[in-house]
Amino acid sequence: MLNDVTTDLKDLLNTAEQIVEDRAKNKENIGKAKATTLQTIQENDFQNFVPSYECIDVNFKASELKSTYNSLGSVEIKSVPCSIAHKPFKHTQAQIPPEYEKMPTKFNLKNEFKVPYSNGKITSMVVTNDNRLLLCYSGDKSKAMSIWSETGYHIQDCKLAAPAWGIAIIPGTNEAVVTLPFINSIQFVNITSMVPDNLYVTTLNTDKLHRMSKDGKFLDILLKKKDGLDQPFGIAFNKNYTKLYIANGRKANIDAIRVDISKQESDFQNLIPSYECINVNFKASKIKSALNSLGSMEITSVPCSITYNPSKHAQAQIPAEYEKMPTKFKLNNHVKLPYPNVGTASIVVTNDNRLLLCYSEDKSKSLSVWSETGDHIQNCVLAGTAWGIAIIPGTNEVVVTLPSIKSIQFVNITSLVPGKAMKVPDKCYGVTVIKEMIVLGGIGKVYFLSMTGSLIKSFHIGSDYLNSLKANKMDMIFCCETGNDTLHCIDIKGTVIFSYKSPSFNGPIGMAFDGKENLYVATWKPNILHRLLKDGKLIDILLKKEDGLNEPYAVAFNKNYIKLYIANGLGTVNKDVLIFDCA
């Protein structure tokens, strides 16, 4: 009979091994859950969640049997559904608010704007998630998709291979697909960089807008010619269905609001059914012989073996290769500027590596946008001549100084729509943003403003124009006092940390940081690019006149420090932007 006992104990051991295997599968599923849902479940919730898990070890301590038996019974393992209740995020976060799921009942003509092609018609129109309008023209002369703001302001055109007709946004992407019937083709367009359930139907000949149910049944006629319809071609709602856009043969109605909607939950919802809770039940048998004890079950709790690795270490941090100091600079290209008598006062690079240039002359009151390879994209007209520019961290806006009218102006760098100009205490040139404050460089003075333009404080720094300002991650503010050949470094309290001068440091004007926060300073008089440590000590002189520098005025790196941009030309005739490859 002892053999039977041994057999039963082996069965119990197999059962325990099965429990361990199931536990391992659960641990793997938990790991997958973490990997696929970190974007929709806040990390602190997950971090607090992990310690609550304990791994249960079940050990059997055998005793000496004083009698034999046939069987103790059997272990029955049942799988029951996971008790975690799925509460879709879309019901509390990402769904379209109830007021957006509606059928409009009132339509008032709000505005109209003229399209630029008198012989072309608008064949279709869609609205992007940020409420920009994408229009397709039907005329052969207009081989472009046209982008407009929600208020009817023309942003830019995207050149296509042929005249476009239909357009559709590809869900879940930043791309649109456009039909090109004249060449029997379609073309995809990135609508960010612009690099190449009721149904509403317009009728061209009768100038009417019909509303139909999704099964094709006619509901009503909403709008007619007397409501402003004139050969309607394209139709689209904005994202919350409070505005309707209709493109006529000769005009379009415009007005909208903006709503950002986001949703992600399918991965988590699909994951839950893979979880099972294991119930272990013991079915006793009738023991035919007496025994004192088989032994005892010992249950111990051990810490969960799942380790919490914050996603910021794997996803959001700057990759290690970006935190570097370039050692090699090779001239790859130079781009001629469109204005022969206009220099570039400053350059910044956006997160998608577009170049934003401020021209220094009165004739060019605009912010100019270029691709990273030197292709001109468009200009954004400003209230005055721009000088300095700084990106506001965590937003899609920049702030630009307009010294000729003693003002600053905000610009949306996605839609390139300028905001209202705000007056500042003096002529200000350099600008940077730090701790939600706008810092401006005036004449021997630094001004700290709130984001609404209110003066917070000011400090005297030097005595001449502070043409360029840059702030590093340690909140140190570097100021180029060009006329006195000096670089000042201050903190947010206005305390001067150091001032740098040297015989070759004549006319410091443009600055940029690399991944190690070393400072690159262009000096326009001797045509030299200096590299300094953040404590003001000279590392080396990188580039000179023989490398292409000709009165360098602005300098910037792209986001991974593999390209360096230097704008030449203060008084020279040939003004250009040099593009260096870095390694």
The answer to whether residue 482 scores a pLDDT higher than 50 is: yes
For the stretch 343-383, pLDDT in tens is 789 999 999 999 999 987 766 788 999 999 999 999 899 99
Tell which wins on pLDDT, 346 or 93.
346
Predicted local distance difference test score (pLDDT) of residue 41:
45
CA distances from 538 to 325, 530, 577 (A): 14, 7, 25
Tally of CA atoms within 13 A in the half-sphere of 533 that contains its CB? 6
Is position 137 within any domain? yes
What is the domain count for the chain? 3
CA distances from 105 to 108, 237, 244, 318, 559 (A): 10, 13, 11, 50, 48
**Do 382 and 480 belong together in one domain?**
yes
Q: Which pLDDT band, with edges at 50, 70 and 90, does 571 fall under?
A: low
Tell which wins on pLDDT, 332 or 319.
332
**Do 133 and 85 belong together in one domain?**
no
Is position 478 within any domain? yes
CATH number where 352 lies: 2.120.10.30
Is position 27 within any domain? yes
Question: Cα 581 from chain centroid?
Answer: 25
> What are all long-range contacts of 208-216, with beta carbons under 8 Å and residues at least 24 apart?
209/235, 209/246
Domain that holds residue 282: 2-91+264-313
Q: Which of 108, 128, 415, 103 lies closest to 246, judged by CA?
A: 108
Q: Of 297, 313, 329, which residue constitutes the final position of a domain? A: 313
Tell which wins on pLDDT, 32 or 343.
343
Compute the Cα dihedral for 390, 518, 352, 527 and give only its sign: positive
Q: Of 222, 253, 284, which residue constitutes the final position of a domain? A: 253
**Do 349 and 437 belong together in one domain?**
yes
User: Out of 52-61, 63-72, 308-317, 558-567, which region has the weakest mean confidence (pLDDT)?
Assistant: 308-317
Whole-angstrom distance, CA of residue 485 vs CA of residue 201: 67
For the stretch 205-252, pLDDT in tens is 678 887 766 455 677 788 888 888 888 867 777 766 677 878 776 433
**Do 196 and 284 belong together in one domain?**
no
End-to-end CA separation in angstroms for the chain = 78
Compute the Cα dihedral for 450, 453, 454, 459 and give only its sign: positive
The answer to whether residue 479 scores a pLDDT higher than 90 is: yes
Q: What is the pTM of this model?
A: 0.51
Whole-angstrom distance, CA of residue 380 vs CA of residue 365: 9
CA distances from 11 to 107, 390, 551 (A): 75, 71, 86
Is position 259 within any domain? no
**Do 9 and 119 belong together in one domain?**
no
Whole-angstrom distance, CA of residue 478 vs CA of residue 557: 17
Is position 567 within any domain? yes
- Average of pLDDT values for 433-448? 97
Q: Which residue has the tokens 């954004």?
A: 380
Q: Which pLDDT band, with edges at 50, 70 and 90, does 275 fall under?
A: low
Is position 476 within any domain? yes
Q: Which amino acid is at 547?
A: D
Q: Of 205, 222, 253, which residue constitutes the final position of a domain? A: 253
The answer for residues whose C-beta is within 8 angstroms of residue 387's C-beta and 6 or more apart is 345, 346, 358, 360, 400, 401, 402, 403, 429, 430, 467
Quote the percentage of the chain above a pLDDT of 70: 64
Whole-angstrom distance, CA of residue 199 vs CA of residue 217: 10
Q: Which pLDDT band, with edges at 50, 70 and 90, does 89 fall under?
A: very low
Tell which wins on pLDDT, 57 or 194.
194
CA distances from 178 to 173, 238, 414 (A): 15, 19, 21
Is position 258 within any domain? no
**Do 234 and 165 belong together in one domain?**
yes
**Do 404 and 528 belong together in one domain?**
yes
**Do 386 and 501 belong together in one domain?**
yes
**Do 74 and 154 belong together in one domain?**
no
Q: Which amino acid is at 225?
A: K
**Do 233 and 306 belong together in one domain?**
no
Q: Which of 390, 384, 440 lies closest to 413, judged by CA?
A: 390
**Do 122 and 218 belong together in one domain?**
yes
**Do 155 and 188 belong together in one domain?**
yes
The answer to whether residue 35 scores a pLDDT higher than 70 is: no
Is position 366 within any domain? yes
Q: What are the start-end ranges of the E strands in 87-128? A: 112-113, 122-127
